[in-house]
Structure 1
């Protein structure tokens, strides 16, 4: 395994004035911005028995959304990034606020700041675009929870969102932008809407975790911030190198194929979700499990059930590595978790053979700058093709909190902390 050598911090700067852009735009002048929180956006899709209901298909009309996120870098100014990537019509933003979270849907009195867009309190985001706010003067601390409140006055139609989260989002009818209490926000869901990034004025730099349900946090406890990526953020801080982390995972996501419910292919979304994040300097990649397993599952959400070869997966990984290296990012490959024992038809002998072959390539090819061996961290010593029982979520596949901890602990931080 190669020893990971982190690149020098990329100086990423964007215009202070908000702009409607297809992606984050960098220039050479101050201020510097670091992505301190993020989510990968998806097409609207109905809720499921596993994830519960969501509001994406019906969208919003005369609503106020309040969403709580945990930032992984501090600064004296923040800005938010909103997405109408999958909207069929312009999205009217009737106002926005950022404040310190006081738990649930409450905010700390006196902490709310008005968010503006090109100097105005309202904005319209065209279909397929993102909007970056103006800087907001609010000093935030590492791992602080912020409440982002967005007013949506008009009928939106189906809403751009992130389907699976371990967080709670809140909705109220009417205008409740400036509510301190959370009483009006009686409707909840475990998804994020429109909010794709929170950025701080910092040169800390960001590690983007990119991949599927392992990265997205499936199996970890709701509301506890104990996903693999959350625990990596805490390890970096404890080690004295508080690099920010962004979670760009999508549960069900595949390397080579998109699907109606599980987002675009990783090769298609890599630019937007990784390379265009302000301050991105390294990326952690876990992909391939769903490319191998989902064809056995089938169903409307899966889309294409065409089988893929190991060589096709290797070529897809190489594509991501080359794109990241071209931008100066270091790339950490993550081996595919044990798949046998899942409570859905995800495994067969051919899948296991392909998983082992892909893992061998990730470990030994030298294509990645470093390797996080999640397979080894999760494998049962008595049966290496199965997950370790003590680290296993009830679905028989994903890690529980202990499993997420074990994988986060397996990443060698010595090149960062030494």
Structure 2
């Protein structure tokens, strides 16, 4: 067994021999100077876990503290930040810079807070047009976690380099308050100022993917503060699939491919916002050209295609894979014209063509258009302005990314514990500390035991898996001595990892064994408190037939009027919640299994509004479908179907309702291996 130790939430000071860099931009060129580093961590490259694209025109600050919260994509053993003054008109001094785990709102977990230095100094002055990269910080970053960065601005800044659509609350107070646990009566905004990057060191990191685009990439109209931009949702899919790939969002709302306006054009910012990102290996070019097509005097499709080809050539020259996105429909939007629509069709045809030069395709158009009117968004995915998706639409885009084709097959290995039932020895006093929190996919909730040894947490995976990796993210109350154990029946246990020298933080463990049940069995607490886990992740490949649809992402043709009738209800493991469509034929529900499975059985539990005629279809890419079951005489109730086929996506495609209502499913179960 091998433990890949990621220092964690009980943080341990600065790594010796850290690196500080100042970047000075001169026009299109930039020079980055690194002093020699003696750090033992220097062999582990840096990979971006969060980023925004800088813009001009931010607010001004003077003798104020800013606290900004970022959502990571991957975790790591150490962190560093970048502060940008690239669009500033005067030098900006940053002092009392701190990083900590967010505790929600303007609050931080004070025990996690660490000072950020630059060349060993507690402050840094960044010249106009430049940026500064901090020293390495001994701060363990959790995947898909919220990290707060605070800094004091002791002098007038001039207009800040910003990212305008942060879609996340940032906080400002007078004076130096970086060390405060909670800011008092802060002013708030929805933008980021000066902070553009958070990078990590992670020996398992495969690289980073940059999402380059405009407002659809920026997450316009997604739920504020919910991190439902499609790049965030893609990060979740990658993590669940067992990949360690940083996802960096370089979207700018209003951005164009060919001309400057809302930020430099995609062509003019490609070097800085994509190629210079730490660890970048892939770029997904998304939606900029829609804004070009919406101009009063739009460029021709040929001009836009030439621009895309220039980006492809630049990416390939830098050794990057270039993923082309088809352009989403926008008929009904304020700037839609038939000329723009013709341009969109021509660009999509180019992208789908054999000679595009694209390494892969993300078919955002196919994932979001209305099958009955392909020039418009599917109503279930339209935020209402006919240009931007809602949260379900952003999920559909993230689901359309072919992870295996782009990032490589993971052998079916994924986090098989997420959302599964748990049992615990005890639950500590306090609010919302149950075992389910350790497997809910969030690093903001936790399980905590009573103050007693031994204590344990068990997760039931639902079927036997071949387990290769277990990841524990400890809160400050961690286990000094504990074991990871596997069982086929929940009674007889085999130990696959054991330690008596646990030191908290994140333990990323390589293990080997097969089991349905996984147990963290703690025998010695490191503190006076109990055992407290932000997350327990178990990575494995299926060893038997099970319901592979439970908890997986869904897409639907529509959602009926009413409360809580979304597609996720059909795969939540409960017969008390349901998906319901509008009163229309055809209607459909798709579940993304996350990997290809051999499907042997599909079980549908209908509510009173059922399908008279429907098909069960499988697909490897979510676009081309094979029918494995069809009926025109459905009679409701429970349909338990024996089928045969292989696919990653499963669709119930209804063509005739049996009632005046829509299609309504209590559950859709898919059994595969």
Would the alpha carbon gap of residues 26 and 214 (structure 1) be closer, same or farther in structure 2, given more than 3 Å must change?
farther
1:262-277 alignment, distance < 5 Å: 262-277=262-277
1:362 equivalent in alignment to 2:363: no
**How far apart are 1:339 and its partner, in Å?**
1.2
Q: Distance in 1 between matches of 2:187 and 2:236?
A: 31
Would the alpha carbon gap of residues 26 and 403 (structure 1) be closer, same or farther in structure 2, given more than 3 Å must change?
farther
Gap runs ≥5 in structure 1: 1-14, 45-55, 297-305
Q: Distance in 1 between matches of 2:187 and 2:380?
A: 35
1:335 pairs with one of 318, 326, 331: 326
**How far apart are 1:414 and its partner, in Å?**
1.9
Residues 371-415 of structure 1: CA distance to partner in whole angstroms, max 9, x if unpaired? 011111111111110111110112221000000011111111123
Contact 1:116 1:134 in 2 (8 A): yes
Q: Bigger relative contact order, structure 1 or 2, given CA contacts below 8 A and separation 6+?
A: 1
Contact 1:67 1:170 in 2 (8 A): yes
Q: Distance in 1 between matches of 2:118 and 2:147?
A: 19
Q: Distance in 2 between matches of 1:354 and 1:126?
A: 42
- The answer for the alignment partner of 2:365 in structure 1 is 375
Gap runs ≥5 in structure 2: 1-16, 37-41, 412-673
Q: Distance in 2 between matches of 1:31 and 1:384?
A: 47
Contact 1:24 1:278 in 2 (8 A): no
Contact 2:22 2:32 in 1 (8 A): no
**How far apart are 1:43 and its partner, in Å?**
0.9
Q: Which has the larger radius of gyration?
A: 2
**3-state SS, counterpart of residue 331 of structure 1:** strand
Residues 66-99 of structure 1: CA distance to partner in whole angstroms, max 9, x if unpaired? 0000111211210000100110000111220000
Contact 1:232 1:408 in 2 (8 A): yes
1:378-393 alignment, distance < 5 Å: 378-393=368-383
**How far apart are 1:26 and its partner, in Å?**
9.3
**3-state SS, counterpart of residue 211 of structure 2:** strand
Q: Distance in 1 between matches of 2:273 and 2:260?
A: 15
Would the alpha carbon gap of residues 131 and 26 (structure 1) be closer, same or farther in structure 2, given more than 3 Å must change?
closer
- The answer for the alignment partner of 1:228 in structure 2 is 230
Q: Distance in 1 between matches of 2:332 and 2:179?
A: 49
1:344-363 alignment, distance < 5 Å: 344=334, 346-363=335-352
- The answer for the alignment partner of 1:312 in structure 2 is 303
Q: Distance in 2 between matches of 1:322 and 1:226?
A: 31
Contact 1:26 1:278 in 2 (8 A): no
- The answer for the alignment partner of 1:402 in structure 2 is 392
**3-state SS, counterpart of residue 137 of structure 1:** coil
**3-state SS, counterpart of residue 320 of structure 1:** helix
Contact 2:73 2:235 in 1 (8 A): yes
**3-state SS, counterpart of residue 380 of structure 2:** helix
RMSD: 1.6
**3-state SS, counterpart of residue 65 of structure 1:** strand
Residues matched between the structures, number = 377
1:176-191 alignment, distance < 5 Å: 176-184=177-185, 186-191=186-191
Contact 2:83 2:131 in 1 (8 A): yes
Q: Distance in 2 between matches of 1:372 and 1:143?
A: 23
Q: Distance in 1 between matches of 2:137 and 2:83?
A: 15
**3-state SS, counterpart of residue 228 of structure 2:** coil
**How far apart are 1:363 and its partner, in Å?**
1.1
TM (norm. structure 2) is 0.55
**How far apart are 1:24 and its partner, in Å?**
8.4
TM (norm. structure 1) is 0.87
1:135-174 alignment, distance < 5 Å: 135-174=136-175
**How far apart are 1:25 and its partner, in Å?**
4.8
**3-state SS, counterpart of residue 198 of structure 2:** strand
- The answer for the alignment partner of 1:60 in structure 2 is 61
**3-state SS, counterpart of residue 288 of structure 1:** helix
Q: Distance in 2 between matches of 1:19 and 1:169?
A: 26
Contact 2:21 2:33 in 1 (8 A): no
**How far apart are 1:202 and its partner, in Å?**
2.3
**How far apart are 1:179 and its partner, in Å?**
0.3
